[in-house]
Amino acid sequence: MIDRRSGRTSVAAVAVSLGCLVSLGACSADTFETAPTEGPSPTTAGTGAASDDGTVLAAVLEDWAREHPDAAGSPVAVGVARSGGPRVVVTGGSSAGEDVDPESWFRLGSLTKTYVATAILRLAERGELDLDAPAGTYVEAVPGGSAVTVRQLLSHTSGLADYTAEPEWLTAVTDDPSRAWTAREVLALIPPDDPEPGAFAYSNTNYVVLGLVLESVTGGTPREAVAAEVLRPAGLEATDLSSEGRPVVGGLADPGDGTSVSTLDGPYTAIETSAGAAGSVTGTVPDLLRFGQALLDGELLSEESWAQMTDFGAEGIYGLGLGDLTVISGGEVDGVGNYGEIPGFSALLVLEPDTGTVLAAVSADDRASAFDLGAALQRALAGEAAAGPTAAGTGAPGGDAAARTAALFSDLDPAGPGCSVAVTRSGRVVYADAWGTADLATGEPMTTDTVVDIGSATKQFTATAALVLADEGRLDLRDRLSVHLAGFPSWADRVTVADLVHHTSGIPDYVEALLAAGRTLEEAVTTDDALEVLRSADVPEAVAGHEYSNSNYLLLGEVVAAVAGADLADVLTDLVLRPAGVAAVVDPLADVPGKAVSYVRDGDAWLPVDSGWSQVGDGGVLTTPTELALWGGQYWAPTVGSATVNEAREAGAVPTGEGDDERYGAGVRYSEVPGLGRVIGHVGAWEAFVTTFDVLPDLELAIAATCASPDLPPVRPGIGRDILRLWAGEA
C-alpha cells in the first residue's frame, strides 16, 4: 500500500516492446495448443470471446476436412483477432510427420505485396521517396522506368506484363528449380514494349520493381527493408521475406496434371527467389493476425497513408497493396485485404475496419483454397456473433468489457510474475484486477494494491510540475538551460526548457552512455553520476526534431527542483501528486511494503531484476495501475494548477515521426488512432516492469496496466489501446 502523504522520485526508463501470440485463449511465450482437423475440441484457458471463437474455428476446420477429404491431412490454419481481444488460432494437418501448430510457418504468396506496400508508404511518409515519381527516379533501366510511377506499381496500374505469364519463366523454373534468381533476371523476361499505364491489370512484375526501389532508397535488400519498416515496428518475430532458415511446412503443389507434388521433395529456390518482393513472405498465422491488427490500429501507417492504401480507385478493386475483397469476391468475403497463392500454398488476410476484426486462413494444398476457407470462416463467425449477445459498439460475442479484458491476461501462470490492470471512467474505477505472483520468493500474490515502478510514465508528472511553475510565473519554458543549471558545456546556452519537455534538445541518453561506459543496472548509480556523464556529452547544434532521451527529463527535473528551491520528490508530491489525489512514492529505491519484484526469463527460470539507480525526473515513481489510471482524469478534468495548465500540455507538441500522426507534448504522446480518435498516453519500463498508460479524453476513459516482466504474454505493442477499445464500446 502507498501512503498518500509520502513522496520521492527517480529512475530512468528503458523501452521494452515484446509481442505475445495467443492461441485459443491459452498462450505462453513459446507454446500453443492446437486443435486438429479430425474431431477438433480446442482447449481454452479463458472464457468469453476467445473460447467461443476457438470453438467456432475448430468447427470450421472440421467441416473443411469433411468437404475436402483429399486434402484432410495437409497443413491448414485459421485465425481471428477481434478488436481488443487475443489472437485465436486453430490448426490442423501435419508436415514431415509433425503436427501443425500455431508456431508452424507457411508461405504467404502475394500477401507479400501488402508488407512491401506498407514499407513503401512508411518511407513516403518520411519523405524518403515520392509515390508519384517515376520508378526510374530510383532504379535505372527498369521496364517503363520513365513512364510508370511508384504509385502505379503499387496499384497494379502500370501496364507492365506479368513475368509469371511468360513461357520462358515457367520453362526456366521447371528445368532448374534450384536456380537463385535476381530481380534483374526476372525483369529481363518482360517484353520491351512500352507499358500503357492507367487501367488495373494485376502483375507480379510491379512488386519485383518495387523491391528494387526499396533497395535503392534504403540501401538494403527488400528483406532487410521490410524487416526494418514493418516486421520490427509491429513486433512480428515469426515473419520473414524469405524461407531461409525458417521451418516452413511442406505444401502439396498441383503441377497441372491432376497429381500433387510435395514442396519438400525438391528445391523451391527458383520459385521463391523469382517471386522476391512479389511473393516470398513466410510466417505464422498469429503473426499474420498481428500484422492485420497493426494496420487497423494505425501502428504502422498514418491515417493519410491508410486512406491511400484503401483507395480502390474508379474500378473499386485494388488500392496500394490491399484490395476490396467484397468487390473482388462478389460478396463471398466482406472486407479489405489480400489473397496470395504460390505453388503448394494459399493465404487470405481479411481486415474489417468497421469492427476492428482480422481474419486469416492458410492452406498448404493447392486442392483446397484458403480463399474458400476464409469465406467459410467469416460466415461461421458472423453467424456466431448474430446468435450471441454483443457489447455495444464492439460487434463481438461476450459483450462484457470486464470479461474480455480479463481474457487478455487469462493465460498468465498464477505461479509466475504478475500483471495488474485498472480502468477508470469519469474519474471512477470501473475495473481493476491482477493476476500472477508479486514476489516469487515469498509467493505473495499480485493484487490491485501491489506497488510497481511505472518507469517513464513518470515523465508526465515532471512535465506537469514545470507547467505549473510556468503558469505561476516562476519558470519560462523559453529559458536556456544555463539560466537554471551551472557547470554544463556551451550547448546549455542554446537548449531551452521547452526542448527538454519535447525531447528536441539533441542531448544523448545518459542511460545508454552509462551502460556503454560499463555501469550495470544492479550497481548503485546516482544522479550526480548521470549529470557528470552529461557534462561531457557532445550535443549537435542543429537538431532535426524529436529525439527521445531520458536525459531531457533528468535535466527537467533538476530545473524544476532548482526553481522550486526544494527536493524534486517533494515538489512532485506537493505540486502534482497530492493535488491530483494520487498516492505514490517518488523514489525508485524506497522500501515500500508489498512492492512487486520484476523478472526476466532465463530458460525455464525467472531471474529477479533489482536496480540500484537513483536518478530523479525521468522515471522512478512507485504506485499502482489504479492510481495511475485515476491520474488520467487530469486530461479532461484537471485539478492540478490553473485551467491553462492542461492546455499547455499539448501546446508546442512536436511530431515524433511515428504512426497515427503522433506528437510528443508534456510527458505524453498525442495520437489520432483510427476507430478511437484522440488518444493520450505513454509507456514506461524500468528494472523489468513494463507499464502502459492510455487516455481517451473524449470518453473520459483511462487505463493503466503493468506487468512484472517483458517476457509475459500480455506484453505487446498496442495492448493499452486494445483495452481502450473494449471499454470505449460500452461508454
Per-residue pLDDT tens for 93-104?
Answer: 999 899 999 999
* Segment 443-493, tens digit of pLDDT: 999 999 999 999 999 999 999 999 999 999 999 999 999 999 999 999 999
**Where is the domain boundary, 280, 302, 332?**
280
| 154 sits in which H/E element | helix 150-154
Q: Is pLDDT of 537 > 70?
A: yes
**CATH number reported for the structural domain that contains residue 118 in this entry:** 3.40.710.10
Task: Write down the pLDDT at residue 714.
Answer: 85
For 106-118, what is the mean pLDDT? 96
Kindly state the cell numbers that stand for 427.
Answer: 474519474
| Average pLDDT along the chain | 86
Confidence band of 51 (pLDDT split at 50, 70, 90):
low
φ, ψ of residue 28 to 5 degrees: the values are -120, 175
Residue whose C-alpha cell reads 526510374 in the numeric block? 136
CA pair distance 207, 118, nearest whole angstrom: 12
CA pair distance 74, 89, nearest whole angstrom: 17
For 139-144, what is the mean pLDDT? 80
In the chain, the N- to C-terminal Cα span, in Å, equals 30
**285 in Cβ contact with 61 (< 8 Å):** no
Q: Is pLDDT of 564 > 90?
A: yes
For 307-316, what is the mean pLDDT? 86
Q: Give domain status of residue 12, yes or no.
A: no
For 36-58, what is the mean pLDDT? 50
User: Which segment, 153-162, 189-198, 658-667, is predicted with the most confidence on average?
Assistant: 153-162
| 295 sits in which H/E element | helix 285-296
Choice between 108 and 64, residue whose per-residue pLDDT is larger: 108
Q: Give domain status of residue 329, yes or no.
A: no
Verify that 415 and 274 share a domain, yes or no.
Answer: no
Confidence band of 257 (pLDDT split at 50, 70, 90):
low
φ, ψ of residue 491 to 5 degrees: the values are -65, -20
Q: Is pLDDT of 399 > 60?
A: no
What percent of the chain has a predicted confidence (pLDDT) above 70?
A: 89
Of 50-54, 394-398, 498-502, 549-553, the range with the lowest mean pLDDT is 394-398
* Segment 416-449, tens digit of pLDDT: 999 999 999 988 888 999 999 999 999 999 999 9
Tally of structural domains, the chain: 2
CA pair distance 330, 341, nearest whole angstrom: 19
Task: Write down the pLDDT at residue 229.
Answer: 95
Q: Give domain status of residue 334, yes or no.
A: no
Task: Write down the pLDDT at residue 233.
Answer: 92
Residue type, 79: G
**Where is the domain boundary, 280, 312, 331?**
280
Q: Is pLDDT of 396 > 80?
A: no
Q: Give domain status of residue 589, yes or no.
A: yes
Q: Give domain status of residue 510, yes or no.
A: yes
Q: Give domain status of residue 164, yes or no.
A: yes
Task: Write down the pLDDT at residue 28.
Answer: 22
- 3-state SS assignment for residue 326: helix
Confidence band of 388 (pLDDT split at 50, 70, 90):
very low
Verify that 596 and 456 share a domain, yes or no.
Answer: yes
Confidence band of 40 (pLDDT split at 50, 70, 90):
very low
Q: Is pLDDT of 14 > 70?
A: no
For 368-378, what is the mean pLDDT? 91
CA pair distance 60, 381, nearest whole angstrom: 9
Q: Is pLDDT of 525 > 70?
A: yes
Q: Give domain status of residue 316, yes or no.
A: no
CA pair distance 242, 671, nearest whole angstrom: 34
Residue whose C-alpha cell reads 483511462 in the numeric block? 702
Longest dimension (CA), the chain: 85
Task: Write down the pLDDT at residue 18.
Answer: 18
| Residues paired with 51 in a beta bridge | none
What percent of the chain has a predicted confidence (pLDDT) above 90?
A: 64
For 230-243, what is the mean pLDDT? 93
* Cβ count near 273 (within 10 Å): 18
Verify that 275 and 421 share a domain, yes or no.
Answer: no
Confidence band of 354 (pLDDT split at 50, 70, 90):
confident
CA pair distance 280, 222, nearest whole angstrom: 10
* Cβ count near 99 (within 10 Å): 13
**553 in Cβ contact with 617 (< 8 Å):** yes
What DSSP string runs through 221-259?
-HHHHHIIIIITTTT--SEESS-TT--BPP-EE--SSS-
Task: Write down the pLDDT at residue 48.
Answer: 39
**177 in Cβ contact with 270 (< 8 Å):** yes
Task: Write down the pLDDT at residue 730.
Answer: 53
Task: Write down the pLDDT at residue 383.
Answer: 67
Q: Which residues of 573-606 are buried (b: 16+ CB within 10 A; e: fewer)?
A: bebbbbbbebbbbbbbbbebeebbbbbbbeeeeb
For 4-23, what is the mean pLDDT? 23
Q: Give domain status of residue 15, yes or no.
A: no
Supply the range of the domain harboring residue 531: 411-728
Confidence band of 22 (pLDDT split at 50, 70, 90):
very low
For 239-263, what is the mean pLDDT? 86
Verify that 276 and 418 share a domain, yes or no.
Answer: no
Task: Write down the pLDDT at residue 147.
Answer: 84
**350 in Cβ contact with 232 (< 8 Å):** no
Confidence band of 261 (pLDDT split at 50, 70, 90):
confident
Choice between 383 and 564, residue whose per-residue pLDDT is larger: 564
Task: Write down the pLDDT at residue 238.
Answer: 94
